[in-house]
């Protein structure tokens, strides 16, 4: 259980360790990278050769709002972007404990607004993310609706963290099988993100599971059978389906939290990313 062994009192050391863990994927051939500043935040452009012009992925990395970076998620982002045949913008949003909610969401919203301001049609934008980033790919459309902005064409959530109240049974039933760590560790991350405000944990843009999902953009949700957050994705899928959302659930039995990190090395990760790519291309015409 790698994550639960991170030093909780030193976010800088924890982030350095996390980025090493996240290099598990193989390099993705035929992709270039360039750093940028987007809406005041560092960002990484990931550009596959022959990507469809004017189609774009906004990628939001995982790490419990505490760890992770565009560089640490670079290989995963590249495999996804290539499968979807789009350029990807990976945003380095502010993180806790220095910057709790709403800072991470605000930075992702600013990146989405930047793409709209650069004349990307909302119909040509896909959001993608893993873990807490998977939560953000649903929180951003919910927040966009509140702000009167158009919704993106599609969202791809891998092992999403949708319920910061930690009501999902899989936090207990899968705790011996998953790399993510203990319920206490996940609770600590939720506590940091919400500045200790338990009531805030049910806010729909913090826990999208509690949002009004009617009219939400199409969603692909990838879950893993051994993931402690398995039930977050399943419960969101069931609620979205009842609300009439175009939503697809892909479950990989026997896999752990964000197994797609093994892209280029694991058949299960490769299959998931290939299927995501086909679905996204059908949604945005890339």
Round to whole Å and give the CA distance between 204 and 189: 17
Round to whole Å and give the CA distance between 86 and 28: 14
Domain extent at residue 35: 3-284
Give me the residues of the chain with pLDDT under 70, please.
Answer: 1-10, 12-13, 18, 21-22
Round to whole Å and give the CA distance between 210 and 214: 12
Q: Does the annotation count 131 as an active-site position? A: yes
pLDDT of residue 15: 78
Which letter, b or e, does each residue of 265-280 get, where b requires 16 or more Cβ atoms within 10 Å of its Cβ?
A: ebebbbebbeebbebb
Is the overall model pTM greater than 0.75, yes or no?
A: yes
pLDDT of residue 1: 47
Residue with tokens 């863990």: 21
> How many distinct structural domains can be found in the chain?
1
pLDDT of residue 9: 61
Q: Cβ(59)–Cβ(90) under 8 Å?
A: yes
Whichever domain contains 12, its CATH number is 3.40.50.1820
CA distances from 111 to 39, 140, 186, 204, 264 (A): 6, 10, 26, 20, 28
Q: Cβ(229)–Cβ(257) under 8 Å?
A: yes
Regarding beta strands 125-130 and 154-158, do their DSSP bridges make them parallel or antiparallel, or are they unpaired?
A: parallel
Determine if the peptide bond prior to 199 is cis (ω within 30°): no
Q: Which of the following is catalytic: 90, 124, 131, 272?
A: 131
pLDDT of residue 183: 93
Q: Which of 21, 40, 38 is nearest to 87 (CA)?
A: 38
Round to whole Å and give the CA distance between 166 and 145: 25
Round to whole Å and give the CA distance between 265 and 14: 25
């Amino acid at each position: 259980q790698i994550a639960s062994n991170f030093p909780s009192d030193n976010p800088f050391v924890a982030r350095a360790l996390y980025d090493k863990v996240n290099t598990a994927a193989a390099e993705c051939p035929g992709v270039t990278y360039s750093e940028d500043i987007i809406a005041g935040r560092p960002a990484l452009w990931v550009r596959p050769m022959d990507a469809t012009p004017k189609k774009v992925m906004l990628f939001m990395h995982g790490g419990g709002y505490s760890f992770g970076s565009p560089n640490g998620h670079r290989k995963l982002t590249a495999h996804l972007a290539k499968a979807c045949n789009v350029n990807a913008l990976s945003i380095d949003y502010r993180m806790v404990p220095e910057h709790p909610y709403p800072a991470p969401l605000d930075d992702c919203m600013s990146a989405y607004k930047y793409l709209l301001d650069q004349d990307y049609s909302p119909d040509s934008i896909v959001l993608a993310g893993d873990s807490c980033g998977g939560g953000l790919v649903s929180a951003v459309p919910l927040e966009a609706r509140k702000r009167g902005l158009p919704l993106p064409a599609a969202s791809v959530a891998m092992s999403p963290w949708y319920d910061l109240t930690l009501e999902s049974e899989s936090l207990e039933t899968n705790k011996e099988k998953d790399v993510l760590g203990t319920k206490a560790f996940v609770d600590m991350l939720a506590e940091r993100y919400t500045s200790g405000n338990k009531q805030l944990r049910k806010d729909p843009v913090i826990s999208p599971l509690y949002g009004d999902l009617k009219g939400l953009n199409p969603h692909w949700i990838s879950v893993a059978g051994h993931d402690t957050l398995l039930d977050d994705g399943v419960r969101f899928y069931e609620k979205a389906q009842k609300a009439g959302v175009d939503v697809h659930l892909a479950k990989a039995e026997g896999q752990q939290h964000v197994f797609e990190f093994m892209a280029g090395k694991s058949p299960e990760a490769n299959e998931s990313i290939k299927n995501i790519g086909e679905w996204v291309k059908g949604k945005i015409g890339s």
